[in-house]
Amino acid sequence: MVLRIFGWSFAVTIASLIVAAIYGGPQAVMLVVILSILEISLSFDNAVINATVLQRMSEFWQKIFLTVGVLIAVFGMRLVFPLVIVWLASGLGPAAALDLALNPPADDAAYFPDGSPSYETLLTDAHPQIAAFGGMFLLMLFLGFILEEREITWLSWLEKPLARIGKLDQLEVVIAGALLLITAAYIAPDATVSTVMIAGVLGMITYIAVNGLGELFNTEEGDEDSETTKSGGPTQLAKATGKAGFFLFLYLEVLDASFSFDGVIGAFAITSDPIIIALGLGFVGAMFVRSITVFLVRKGTLSDYVYLEHGAHWAIGALAVILLVSIGYHVNENVTGLVGVALIGAAFISSIIRNRRNPEPIAVDDHDDQAESVPVG
């Protein structure tokens, strides 16, 4: 089963390394390998969250996520998105932005007579608004999960009190809004305060809109016996179809975008070549994240290790805070990756300990009967 699930990822990896070797020789191959490892390590919590949503979708929408969604992740976020940022920030046309990315001139005046910065600097300068949008979207996701009362808790000493105060209506919006104000007032550089505020509010609005539409159409299209408990994202149903499936798909794509923002910016610490970045982060990294998502669902990992979802959401909360802090201060990418891995690893170990103490099966949201319905890439 492992080969069936990861087969396409291995094939794409081999093809990407061959393309990298032809494009830039051994150095390009090494850069692709480094970026791939970076993307996979930073996105494991993304895969866990993806799995919690994917198992609620019908087989049709699962296939859409694993096909069309991969194309959006690879080409849209890892290749087109950086070019669009440079295009908008520089005033260059799309073709000129691509040419600047592929053939950076020794003298920036060749493109910018007024001495404006290069492609890499233009994209890096867009980090505050990108981090504000992604950070607030992920923060809303984290708060929506951690402020919801649930039967199983991991860090009970903290999660139970948070769930109790979470009964206050729209508390997550209040907390997120307060943190955004603090970020804009005390962390963001003076020149970016307004753009950080606008981008952060757009991140909150995007989460509320996508999550709300998902709940709306899940309610309309589900039967009366469908379970409607929340899990930090759109409402859970046995299988979401039609409009509900579409909004779950949209939710996953926005979530993936929020995770990928920081990775794309961080990749420029390794290379500024958009082809290498697309091969490493997109073709290899994004494919393996998708395969890990499918593996988690098919193996019923989230049901067997019940704290994994909690650990992933705490990792998301940490990533959201790191993104907001990074608006004003540099945060090493290794810190971001290690925090996520540490939290998910701790949740996994806690799940093993719980299973040994309670060997009988644990029913969680009745998803086990769906595991076999997940298609393979």
Q: Are 332 and 104 in contact (CB under 8 A)?
A: no
Q: Does the predicted model carry a pTM greater than 0.85?
A: no
C-alpha to C-alpha distance for 241 and 221, rounded to whole angstroms: 8
Q: Are 69 and 61 in contact (CB under 8 A)?
A: no
Region of residue 83 (left: phi > 0; alpha: psi -120 to 50; beta: else): alpha
Residues 6 or more apart in contact with residue 184 via CB below 8 angstroms:
193, 196, 197, 200
Type of residue at 254: V
Q: Tell me which residues of the chain have a pLDDT lower than 70.
A: 1, 85-94, 97-98, 100-123, 214-242, 261-263, 265-266, 268-269, 272, 333-334, 360-377
pLDDT value for 184: 92
pLDDT value for 265: 64
Residue 184 to residues 88, 177, 351, Cα–Cα distance (Å): 23, 11, 38
pLDDT in tens, 77-99: 777 777 776 666 656 666 776 67
